[in-house]
Amino acid sequence: MSFPDFLGIGAQKAGTTWLHHNLARHPEIWLPPVKEIHHLDHRPPPLVVRLLARKAHLRAARDLALAELAARLRGAGGERLGWALRLWLAPRHDDWYARLFPDDWPGRCGEICPGYARLAPERVATIAARRPDLRIIYLLRDPIERAWSAAAMRFRKPRFGGDIARAPDEAVVRFLKRAKTDRHGDYLRNLAAWERHFPRTQIYIGFFDRLQEDPAALLREILAFLGVDHSPARIPPDVAVARNRGRGERPPERFRRLLAQLYIARIRALHARFANAYTAAWLERAERWSAGAVAEAAA
């Protein structure tokens, strides 16, 4: 009994749904039927919390179990019922998590969960102790774009008004400045926790920009990194289809200045490390937006 062979740790709003969808269709890869189990980054929820299932990942576990039970009762499937009930109802601990992954799978088993990028170093250490050969996939997106996409997703929910354009400015600012939003976009700090316990050869860093430009090439690289068949035959014909895509909301001028101020130092550090066309474009925009803020302040 061990942890999975690989983890996709994020970043949030950087293509993890696309990654899960395409890896799940590969015959050598096993992924859970639901994305984002959120075991490694959450405290084990008690049974009553799992039963009531208010959080999205717990609702997904409950809904899968009930769907499998209904299929079994109809005599029309339900083969995953035992697995689904274990996911939903069994007490959660690291051994429980390990048992979710099949011991006899001939290929690679993994999970995709963007919350895992933010794990504390001591939690990463416990994972490394159980699976020192773990492979990690981390997809990065312009931190400014990522933060705004996350904000747009949040305020798209009916309880928050249904559209970020209708949300109060102070509510949007609070979200952009909150600690969780900050950590999702602090890529180098997140990487440091993983690189403390895993060599860089076991960490694949991809870029959301490349997913948009050439998704087939990005997927081939990830499959090769995982050590599975990455021939053209394994690239789905619909690999370019966006998954869980937002509405493409762009930040208005007043938020561009704030976003540039929040992230420009990090983007400079990212460009210093990766120095590619993507990070250069991130930095150019951040500096342009930040310069606008400085000019306005000086006026």
Q: What domains does the chain contain, in order, with CATH numbers?
A: 6-44+92-298 (3.40.50.300)
Phi-psi region of 133 (alpha: psi -120 to 50; beta: other; left: phi over 0): alpha
Instruction: Name 132's Cβ contacts closer than 8 Å, sequence gap at least 6.
Output: 198
User: What is the pLDDT, as a whole number, of residue 1?
Assistant: 56
User: What is the pLDDT, as a whole number, of residue 293?
Assistant: 53
User: What is the pLDDT, as a whole number, of residue 2?
Assistant: 72
In order of 65, 102, 126, 127, the CA distances from 2 in angstroms are 24, 10, 12, 10
The answer to whether 87 and 61 are in contact (CB under 8 A) is yes
**Nearest in space to 64 (alpha carbons), one of 91, 92, 37:** 37
Query: pLDDT (tens digit, 0 to 9) for every residue of the chain, 299 residues total?
Result: 579 999 999 999 999 999 999 999 999 999 999 999 999 999 999 999 999 888 999 999 999 999 999 999 998 888 899 999 999 999 999 999 999 999 999 999 999 999 999 999 999 999 999 999 999 999 999 999 999 999 999 998 888 778 898 899 999 999 999 999 999 999 999 999 999 999 999 999 999 999 999 999 999 999 999 999 999 999 999 999 988 776 667 899 989 999 999 999 999 999 999 999 999 999 999 999 998 754 444 33
**Which residue has 């999205």 as its token pair?**
56
Degrees, nearest 5: CA angle 78-84-88: 145
> pTM here?
0.94
Torsional sign, CA 104, 112, 28, 90: positive
For 199, other C-beta atoms within 10 Å of its C-beta total 8
Rg (CA), the chain: 20
For 52, other C-beta atoms within 10 Å of its C-beta total 12
Element (H, E) at 278: helix 277-298
The answer to whether 118 and 15 are in contact (CB under 8 A) is no
